[in-house]
């Protein structure tokens, strides 16, 4: 029998505070904007490193010995973990139970692909370039409120709102780059693990703050392209916070947990809209794709409508990353076949 989920999250346990377990975060962690992680018993000694993750593992499942000497099933991709989670919920397991949140230990090909992807995010960020999570428009559209005091004291509420959103998006972008750089590019050091953990907490806190403070509807004074890029960047920051925290968890503990709520996160998958570099290009892309300014899909809808093949209209860097996260090595082969057809 797999070990049961602990009754308190890591943060509450460390602080010796009462925890009321719930997803995606307990009440105390949500208020404090800190990562809320529920662990099973720790993985046995000699866990694999991030770069060596699952080199001998095929897509499917593998038994893993936990610290208590018991066996737990570990899955190599989100797809198989999701099926196990659904089966557990159908059998009456609670959403916070260990069975409903199975462990994932990424197969070797997927691990290397994702390491390369997020390493490139770090390199681009260090060179001052945007990421697949925060749109270039938020860097190019410098607002009139260029300094801290002017932004805070502006009597134009729209200008102030735009300034605060831009500041928060840039903060999230910088923390994404810092975490990826420290975790994946920099050489090991005595304090590296503690420094990375501190940055992960800061990044997750910043993304959580961005999600909770962003307005439900942007002011009409925002241009359509600017409004779309800001809103889409906020949506994608949700994925960034969860995915990068997951990569850190794999590096620290050798595995990550499947989170059922993750598949409900929405985004606009139309690649040409994200890749547009001006309002004119964005408007042209809108016309070609049916005229709708916003066309959201949940992660689950994106995966189920795509199946094992990517829709050409939804083939972007961010979408490919989600595709590999879900399908593992199968997703990588699909992307390679797409690229081969394009290069013929």
Give tens-digit pLDDT for 183-232.
999 887 777 788 888 999 999 889 888 888 887 777 666 788 988 998 99
Among the listed residues 118, 120, 176, 104, the one whose alpha carbon sits nearest the alpha carbon of residue 328: 104
Among the listed residues 340, 335, 343, 338, the one whose alpha carbon sits nearest the alpha carbon of residue 109: 335
Between CA 196 and CA 248 the distance in angstroms is 8
Please give the model's pTM, rounded to 2 decimal places: 0.74
Residue range 113-128: mean pLDDT, rounded? 92
Report strand pairing: 266-267 vs 61-65: unpaired
User: How many Cβ atoms are within 10 Å of 116's Cβ, its own excluded?
Assistant: 11
Q: What are phi and psi of 168, to 5 degrees?
A: -70, -40
Between CA 91 and CA 95 the distance in angstroms is 11
Tens of pLDDT, residues 40-58: 433 333 344 454 444 444 4
Tens of pLDDT, residues 244-302: 988 888 888 777 888 777 889 999 999 999 999 899 999 999 999 999 988 999 999 99
Residue predicted with more confidence, 179 or 24 = 179
Between CA 86 and CA 94 the distance in angstroms is 11
> What was the pLDDT predicted at 215?
77
Q: What angle do CA 45, 118, 300 make, to 5 degrees?
A: 90
> What was the pLDDT predicted at 33?
65
DSSP character string of 64-103: EEBTTS-EEEEESSHHHHHHHHHHHHHTT--TTSTTTS-E
Between CA 333 and CA 335 the distance in angstroms is 5
- Compute the mean pLDDT over every residue in the chain, rounded to the nearest whole number: 78
298 sits in which H/E element: strand 297-298
Residue 237 has pLDDT above 80, yes or no: yes
pLDDT bin (cut points 50, 70, 90) of residue 122 is: very high
């Amino acid at each position: 029998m797999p070990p049961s989920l602990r009754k308190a999250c890591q943060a509450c346990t460390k602080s010796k505070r009462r925890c009321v377990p719930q997803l995606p975060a307990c009440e105390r962690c949500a208020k404090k904007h800190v990562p809320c992680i529920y662990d099973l018993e720790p993985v046995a000694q000699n866990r694999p490193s991030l770069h060596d993750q699952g080199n001998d593992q095929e897509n499917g499942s593998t038994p893993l010995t936990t610290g208590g000497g018991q066996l737990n099933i570990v899955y190599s991709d989100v797809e198989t973990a999701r099926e196990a989670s659904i089966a557990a919920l159908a059998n009456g397991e609670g959403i916070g139970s260990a069975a409903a949140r199975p462990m994932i230990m990424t197969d070797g090909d997927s691990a290397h692909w994702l390491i390369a992807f997020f390493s490139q995010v770090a390199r681009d960020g260090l060179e001052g370039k945007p990421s697949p999570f925060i749109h270039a428009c938020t860097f190019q559209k410098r607002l009139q409120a260029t300094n801290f005091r002017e932004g805070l004291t502006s009597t134009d509420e729209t200008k102030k709102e735009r300034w605060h959103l831009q500041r928060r998006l840039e903060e999230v972008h910088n923390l994404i780059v810092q975490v990826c750089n420290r975790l994946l590019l920099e050489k090991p050091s005595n304090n590296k693990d503690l420094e990375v953990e501190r940055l992960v907490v800061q990044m997750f806190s910043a993304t959580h703050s961005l999600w909770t403070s962003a307005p439900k509807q942007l002011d009409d004074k925002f241009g359509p392209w600017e409004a779309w890029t800001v809103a889409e960047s906020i949506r994608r920051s949700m994925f960034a916070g969860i995915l990068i925290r997951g990569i850190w968890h794999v590096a620290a503990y050798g595995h990550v947990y499947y989170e059922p709520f993750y598949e409900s996160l929405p985004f606009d998958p139309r690649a040409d809209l994200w890749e547009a570099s001006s309002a004119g290009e964005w408007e042209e892309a809108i016309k070609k794709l049916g005229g709708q300014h916003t066309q959201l899909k949940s992660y689950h809808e994106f995966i189920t409508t795509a199946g094992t093949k990517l829709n050409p209209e939804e083939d972007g860097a961010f979408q490919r990353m989600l595709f590999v996260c879900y399908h593992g090595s199968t997703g990588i082969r699909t992307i390679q076949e797409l690229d081969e057809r394009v290069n013929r």
